[in-house]
Amino acid sequence: MAEKKEKKKKARGFAGVIEKNLEPLNSNEKFKEKYKDTKLKLLLNAKDGRWAALVVIKDGTLNIEGIKNSPKENISKEALGWEGLLQTTTPIFLDIASGKLSTGAMLKKVITRKIKVKGLKKIAVLDDLFALLESKEEE
């Protein structure tokens, strides 16, 4: 039996922004090699938006799924099986992605509950993903 090929849904809202930024990793050989044996799901939720981004890294490929973030059950660990969560507002996400927030400033925001993190070691992969994107741009 031939497998049905699923048409990839275009991520919307915040998930679309994340997809646009991280999608180039799928053509990055360093990424493919480093993550060839990895299975990981990270949920990035912009609390002030309607969409969360589920970042799925599986066998050297990266996919972003847009998930409606309300009701809250839509983005629960039980529903999606994510291993790491980063939740904050869209402006703070943009500051993190652009490197404007230092580690100390991020830590302060975590302590004051402006940023919610679960599975810190898993979320640290994001830093590596953005570093791989930057190294690709420099080539």
pLDDT tens-place string over residues 75-101 = 999 999 999 999 999 999 888 877 788
What digits encode the pLDDT tens for the residues 97-124? 777 888 889 899 999 999 999 999 999 8
CA distance 112 to 114: 6
Structural domain tally of the chain?
Answer: 1
Q: Is 123 domain-assigned?
A: yes
Q: Domain range for residue 23?
A: 13-132
Q: How far is C-alpha 20 from the geometric centre of its chain's CA atoms?
A: 11
In a domain, 6, yes or no: no
